[in-house]
Structure 1
Amino acid sequence: MSIFNQKSKFKVKTEVRTVRQAVAPKPKPRPHPSAAPPSSTTSAKSRKNGLLSAPSSRASPKPPSPYPSPRPTEASSSSGARKRRTGSSRSPASPSFSDSEDEDDDWEDSLDARKRMKRAHEAQQPSDPNRVVRHPKLWTGAGVDEADVARLPMIHASRFASLEQKCQPVLGLAPDDARVKLQYPGARHPERYELVWGKDKIDAIKDITTVVNFVASTYLVDEEADFLVNQNTGICRKLERSKNTNDGVAFKAALREYNERVLSLQRQGTIGRNLDAMHGLPRDLVAFVLDQVYDRTVAPKVDLLAKYENGTDNVYGELLHPFISDFLERTKAKSDQVFVDLGSGVGNVVLQAALEIGCESWGCEMMENACGLAEAQQKEFSARCRLWGIAPGKVHLERGDFRKNEKILSALKRADVVLVNNQAFTSQLNDNLVNMFLDLKPGCKIVSLKTFVHDNKIAENDVATSILEVEHLTYPEEYVSWTSASGTYCISTRKG
């Protein structure tokens, strides 16, 4: 029997705890569609109805859940992941393009929205002077090795949304004219897209315009971004107008102009200088990059995560993107620290901590299918960070039981923040974790869905009570994948 379930034989003074509620973020005004990329992750709707579904409207299995929640969940033993953004990067049920040019009247509003987004980005960026944002392999125009261009192991969007997959050309384009390339700010390697539509496929037009908007809002100062955001001649306006008027020729021309200008900025050193001046990344850019990774690796194989064993600890539950950002901020995680996720599933949280904070990030997972997808994500994550020119912290994904993995046990001794999504863990596994926490250094923060300290236990005989100081918190709605309701979690601090 677990020591958590034993009844106390001693009378002790009742512990008084302070319960604080995490304040939900205030809703932000919705910008004009042409103004800026979405600020939340791709396909929130798909995650609301199941524990893990594809990061858009892609259908995914919803097996029964052992989680005590009003919504079904899916399987595996992950400790959490991001919520996909509303305003999916994938195609809606049917394409819609307007022939109207009335958007001209709203262009000034779009510019204002872009300014608001830029200010929001600056406010989002963590205050960490030690954070290095610039990728060490940032391309600055010093030669073009076409062989190197071909070697970057990235997964192109055209692999999942193309004419070969029976998608239909959009913007009035003929099938032979649907292929385009998109330049990113960090590498010479363009991504291949096809301007097509297909149900539950990556939405090339939305993906492309989102990347362009991020370049304008994050990588360039106002004067440098004028060629993108100018209300009369800006490329963003050209892209939006050509989309609304169903003019594929104009859209492709604006995209070619963008590609050429970005390459020129790279050669001039503008991108590099601006990244050198940054010490953090906006959360919405982090979320978008991670969603690009997920859409190209996990989403096409999401059915693999539906296989799990009832009654075990191998249950897959996800903490969504805003939740992860919040606890990273609350625990004051920094780029020179160590983060460990015990039960990391497909690696979502490990990758987010590495990109958002820039810290050394570890994860351990024992389910074979989840491990395979995690490794695929790590490979694409490395390529995407190079495309964007941003340097993440070092990522280490381990296979096996985290109670026995020597590398994980060693990392725990150095850890500053530990995540344990123990929502469905057995009492025996929670007891094992408490014993593992004995090796944590004083001050280490442990984020968990359930507390390791219980009222019916005696301080003299209870390891958890003697080594952990617990803060009980409440998370808002839409913060976890197994329910849309709010709930409680804990941040425990290892006592000295």
Structure 2
Amino acid sequence: MQVASPLPPHIPFHFFPKSSSSPSHLPSVVVKTRAVPVPHQAPRTTPGLPDNLHDQKLSQIADALTMRSSTKRRSPHAHSQRSPKRARSSDSSDATPPPSSSRTRESSIASSVSSSRSSTRNRSSPPTSVPPSTRSRSRSSSVLPFTEEPIPRECHIDEDAVLDETFLSSEKVVLGLMKSYVQYFKNPDDPHDRSFDPHPTNYPVGELEFPNSGATERYILLAPRDKDHYSPILDLERTLYTIIEHYLTPEQRSLFGTLPNDIAFSEMETTPATNHLRMLRRAVALCDGPLFVRTLDTINTLLRMLKYPPLPPDAFAPPNPNALRAAVAGWKETGLPRSVALRIVEETYQRTVGPRTHELNHYQAFSDTVYGELMPSLVSRLLSLSRARPGTLLLDLGSGVGNVVLHAALQSGCSAFGVEVMEKPSEMACEQRAQMMMRARMWGVRMGDVELEHANMLESARVNELMARADVVLVNNKVFGEKLNEAIRPKFLDLKEGALVISLEPFVVGAAGGGGRTVTERNLDDISAILDVSAYDYHSMDVSWASGIGKFYVHRVDRAGYADVRARFEASRTRSTRR
């Protein structure tokens, strides 16, 4: 069995309508005070199982999804070889640790990817002593925090999952890297049982039911030799917990037991006779393979009861719906839960790009083509800040492996276009798109349209065509040279009023410090004078090339403001001439 089937020939397609430029419907960035409480609650204790037993066995596995393997990511200025088998996660790197390590395991998947990183420093433009009649206008806003808000949209689909031979499962990924994996589970009742040992064909495997009808995935129950590599056991656990947390009602959840972050059941709730989720964690903590397999089978049986309910007694009555898929219809007001979006993004990346990251090393160091990624935590903030939603058109100039455009289309439902000049990242982006479309369907959710192009952004006719209709343009120009940045700037003249340009380095000269750039007579006719720029902080682990904090910049096309500045300059010149 091979890890992945050959890529089908890429056939360019165009889904955007040929319409004329129109004003953006995106509202201006609203400044609000953000307060996002993230409760940390102790799990309910059960007699006979110490609270820290599972943590001691699996804590460093959780580090894998907590740290996102960002230390293994390729820095734009690094020359070291990257491991070909590393996979990432939105909040951690997948790893199975030695049992001796002891750390506190994260309370939940949702809290581990909480949006607490979006705090920013307050700045304001410096005061000026120039009289109001002649002073120049600052084309920069103060740096203020913003509030991440849900994106209301229709998320559900009516179609069943369709998984063909091109589907890249966890089983296929690990099978192709079998030499990098070792035994994790054992049979405590039979020391001679070898059924949980690595084997080319007779390996231990577990299967998990996904929300949509016809959707399941198989996981090889082994641990990676390298703690920074993909851990299928932890991946299975996190996917299961996400399904239980977001797709089930409280009554349905009570059939399965308690999630890692659940507090003790209230008196109004019924404690299950067997806490299956806690039993699953116990099996992982004790490396008890038979217990893990039995418990997982029971959990899958319960999920299948919800997915495929019995037919009604009346033969003419409509069949009962898949309860898990029906739950997605209830997300219309709040949109796709962030943790569900991050799970789909990470599952896709781990299976598609993770095993091939070594192929991204082939670029010229310190050049405009140095590869770097924005982490899902930062992408989520950018989508919230830009108010992306269905009907929004997002362009990513230099889209790499397609992470941003795919994440945007999934989480917000917007239409997204990405252009990438490098062959390998462009190829992986096409594969990611195909895999994410299948995975989104497995989860029973819809995503926006994604178009990808392998081309030079400066020479692409498609970029020129879409620029006039774009609502958001993302440019990861952290390592772009001055010449390339200058070549990109004229394209912004085609943007409609209110459109946003988000970048890692400012396109407005003098705004890098966050204080903004002042329009004077000398730069009045500069292209960037139509841009009103604000600076925001990004945080640790938000980008692949650095572990510290940095800045990103949001430029808003404001021709009306520029016209006001120019009118005041012209009036000032007229008064000076009359004198």
Cα distance, 1:31 vs structure 2: 6.7
- Residue identity matched to 1:195: L
**Taking structure 1 as reference, are residues 423 and 168 closer, same or farther at Cα in structure 2, changes over 3 Å only?**
closer
Q: Which ranges in structure 2 are unaligned for 5 or more consecutive residues?
A: 1-30, 44-51, 82-86, 116-146, 188-193, 196-201, 259-270, 309-320, 511-516, 560-579
| In structure 1, C-alpha distance between the alignment counterparts of 2:376 and 2:36, rounded to whole Å | 13
- Could you list the runs of 4 or more consecutive aligned residues of structure 1 that deviate by over 4 angstroms after TM superposition? 20-28, 30-41, 95-98, 113-118
Cα distance, 1:196 vs structure 2: 1.5
| In structure 2, C-alpha distance between the alignment counterparts of 1:198 and 1:434, rounded to whole Å | 46
Cα distance, 1:225 vs structure 2: 1.2
The residue aligned with 2:289 is 248
2:251 aligns to what SS in structure 1?
coil
Asked whether the equivalents of residues 188 and 263 of structure 1 are also in contact (C-alpha less than 8 Å), the reply is no
Residue of structure 1 aligned with 2:238, choices 210, 215, 218 = 210
1:292 aligns to what SS in structure 2?
helix
Residue of structure 2 aligned with 1:234, choices 275, 294, 299 = 275
Q: Which ranges in structure 1 are unaligned for 5 or more consecutive residues?
A: 1-19, 53-64, 67-71, 76-81, 99-105, 140-147
The residue aligned with 1:172 is 186
1:273 aligns to what SS in structure 2?
helix
Percent identity of equivalent pairs: 27
2:283 aligns to what SS in structure 1?
helix
Q: How far does the alpha carbon of each residue in 1:93-128 deviate from its partner, in whole angstroms, 9 at most, with x for none?
A: x46799xxxxxxx9xx99xx669969x79xx99533
| In structure 2, C-alpha distance between the alignment counterparts of 1:360 and 1:461, rounded to whole Å | 33
Residue of structure 1 aligned with 2:155, choices 123, 133, 136 = 133
Asked whether the equivalents of residues 352 and 431 of structure 2 are also in contact (C-alpha less than 8 Å), the reply is yes
Asked whether the equivalents of residues 24 and 475 of structure 1 are also in contact (C-alpha less than 8 Å), the reply is no
Cα distance, 1:409 vs structure 2: 2.3
More displaced stretch, 258-267 vs 166-175: 166-175
Q: How far does the alpha carbon of each residue in 1:449-490 deviate from its partner, in whole angstroms, 9 at most, with x for none?
A: 11111249733320111x211112222333222222222221
Residue of structure 2 aligned with 1:479, choices 542, 565, 568 = 542
The residue aligned with 1:414 is 469
Asked whether the equivalents of residues 83 and 481 of structure 1 are also in contact (C-alpha less than 8 Å), the reply is no
2:395 aligns to what SS in structure 1?
strand
Cα distance, 1:247 vs structure 2: 2.4
Cα distance, 1:193 vs structure 2: 1.4
Cα distance, 1:309 vs structure 2: 2.0
Asked whether the equivalents of residues 498 and 558 of structure 2 are also in contact (C-alpha less than 8 Å), the reply is yes
Query: What TM-score, normalized by structure 1, do the two folds share?
Result: 0.76
Cα distance, 1:86 vs structure 2: 4.1
The residue aligned with 1:278 is 331
| In structure 2, C-alpha distance between the alignment counterparts of 1:473 and 1:137, rounded to whole Å | 41
1:168 aligns to what SS in structure 2?
strand
Two-structure CA RMSD over aligned residues (Å): 3.8
Rg larger for: 2
| In structure 1, C-alpha distance between the alignment counterparts of 2:465 and 2:64, rounded to whole Å | 33
Q: How far does the alpha carbon of each residue in 1:405-453 deviate from its partner, in whole angstroms, 9 at most, with x for none?
A: 2223222222111111111112222122211011111111110111111
| In structure 2, C-alpha distance between the alignment counterparts of 1:306 and 1:86, rounded to whole Å | 23
The residue aligned with 2:418 is 363
Map 1:149-168 → 2, pairs under 5 A? 151=164, 153-162=166-175, 165-166=178-179, 167-168=181-182
Cα distance, 1:317 vs structure 2: 2.1
Asked whether the equivalents of residues 65 and 90 of structure 2 are also in contact (C-alpha less than 8 Å), the reply is yes
The residue aligned with 2:315 is none
| In structure 2, C-alpha distance between the alignment counterparts of 1:87 and 1:246, rounded to whole Å | 22
Q: How far does the alpha carbon of each residue in 1:320-368 deviate from its partner, in whole angstroms, 9 at most, with x for none?
A: 2222111211121112211111000111111111111111111110001
**Taking structure 1 as reference, are residues 334 and 263 closer, same or farther at Cα in structure 2, changes over 3 Å only?**
same
Per chain length, whose mean CA-contact separation is higher, i.e. which structure has more relative contact order (CA < 8 Å, sep 6+)?
Answer: 1
2:256 aligns to what SS in structure 1?
helix
| In structure 2, C-alpha distance between the alignment counterparts of 1:248 and 1:83, rounded to whole Å | 26
2:553 aligns to what SS in structure 1?
strand
The residue aligned with 1:11 is none
Query: What TM-score, normalized by structure 2, do the two folds share?
Result: 0.66
- Residue identity matched to 1:213: Y
Map 1:41-190 → 2, pairs under 5 A? 42=65, 44=67, 46-48=69-71, 50-51=73-74, 65-66=76-77, 72=78, 84-92=89-97, 94=98, 126-129=149-152, 131-138=153-160, 151=164, 153-162=166-175, 165-166=178-179, 167-173=181-187, 174-175=194-195, 176=202, 178-190=204-216
